[in-house]
Structure 1
Amino acid sequence: MNTDFLQLAASRQSDRAYDTGRVVEPEKLEHILEAACLSPSACNAQPWKFVVVTDPGLAAKVGKAAAGLGMNKFAKEAPVHILVVEESMNITSFLGAKIKDKYFPLIDIGIVAAHITLAAESEGLGSCILGWFDEKEIKRLTGIPANKRLLLDIIVGYPAKEKRKKSRKPKDKVISYNHY
């Protein structure tokens, strides 16, 4: 068994402090975005668009909008914001969602967020997935149309703190075989 992936998954964490003196290299960011674009989605709908904020002035404003609701104050330090905007499903994903009563774009965007954060970890970068932010203000700052949903702000940068010990439920509490 290849343990590289398990080591990567074990080392990935939600980083809440970033080294403000280090810029994320464009080639590392491109690798992360390539991994995002390779992410699977229901019926290959790819119901997302990524607005990548790298301009330091704009990143500070987006970070302030992410921190403005009293949470995520560390977002102001993040050098990169990957904004994940929900886009339309294709017809087969739409029909499947109606028939199965499952909204596939949210599942797909969860999967793409995992790809982004694991790719960031593989590049030696930290990340944190934010869902709590001033959506209206970030959309205004970045030109995302008002009728679109900005679902996630995934911040990326060099972590300023050491890794924490992961706390997870015991496997027997979350895994069963052949029946609930």
Structure 2
Amino acid sequence: MKRFLDLVAERQSDRDYDTRPVEQEKLERIYEAARLSPSACNAQPWKIIVVDKPEIRYAIADAASNKIVGINHFTKKAPVQLVIVEEKANLLSSFGSWSQHKHYPHLDLGILAAHIILAATDEGLGSCVIGWFNEQKIKDILHIPNSKRVLMVILLGYSTQSHRTKKRKSLSEILSFNTY
């Protein structure tokens, strides 16, 4: 458990990457961690599109940047982007979503993202989960059917940022026992 807590403490959202390519062996271990990610009723409602060709990466980065708000301009620096597409859940998961008024695929994709970013940290890589982007532009660039949803883009690469101390709420602010 100590190693896991160290890994969690080490992981941060990195917004600056060097130009060094990521070794294929490291990426394959990250992909395997994603593949092994749990999901409701084993639905595995995801497709991961690996974007590593510079011209496509830059187009995805442009779809994630916003000059007016001034965000995500760093996305061009990451040598690998994982575009996470929500796929249809299986029948049991879909029924559970309907009956419990929860969209289980969104929970599953959050777990998937956690596996990816922690595996990346374990490989000595930086990562950042991007949720602000022009979804239609990304669909057009990657030929994703309009019936699908792009929920996030995960950047991977060698970070040039120093480690930051995490600012988090105390346990007493987020934890209670046996009642709200």
SS class of match (1:129): strand
Q: Distance in 1 between matches of 2:6 and 2:122?
A: 10
Unaligned runs of 5+ in 1: none
Structure 2 Cα separation of the partners of residues 138 and 112 of structure 1:
20
Q: Distance in 2 between matches of 1:101 and 1:116?
A: 27
C-alpha root-mean-square deviation of aligned residues, in Å?
Answer: 1.0
% identity of equivalent residues? 52
Q: Which residue of 1 aligns with 2:140?
A: 140
2:152 aligns with 152
Question: 2:166 aligns to what?
Answer: 166
Contact 1:63–1:78 at 8 Å: present in 2 too?
no
Quote the residue 2:16 is aligned against.
Answer: 17
Offset at residue 177 of structure 1 (A): 1.7
Please tell me the residue identity of whatever aligns with 1:86: E
Q: How many residues align?
A: 178
Between 10-19 and 68-77, the greater mean CA deviation after superposition: 68-77
2:25, 2:61 → 1: CA distance? 23
Give me the whole-angstrom Cα distance separating, in 2, the residues matched to 1:24 and 1:65. Answer: 23
**1:25-174 → structure 2 map (5 Å cutoff):** 25-68=23-66, 70-174=70-174
- 1:70-128 per-residue CA deviation (whole Å, 9 max, x = no partner) reads 42111011111100000001000011111111110000001100000000000000000
How far 1:59 moved relative to its partner?
1.2
**Aligned-partner residue type, residue 56 of structure 1:** P
- Comparing 51-60 with 30-39, which one deviates more in the overlay? 51-60
TM-score (norm 1): 0.96
Amino acid at match of 2:123: E
Cα-to-partner distance string for 1:132-159 (whole Å, 9 max, x where unaligned):
0111111111111122100000011100
For 1:163 and 1:64, locate their aligned partners in 2 and report how far apart those are by CA, in whole Å. Answer: 27
Cα distance between partner residues in 1 of 2:17 and 2:76: 9
1:6 aligns with 2:41: no
TM-score when scaled to structure 2? Answer: 0.96
CA displacement, residues 48-69 of structure 1 (integer Å, 9 cap, x when unaligned): 0000001122112211221146
Distance 2:120 2:154 in 1: 10
CA distance in 1, matches of 2:101, 2:136: 28
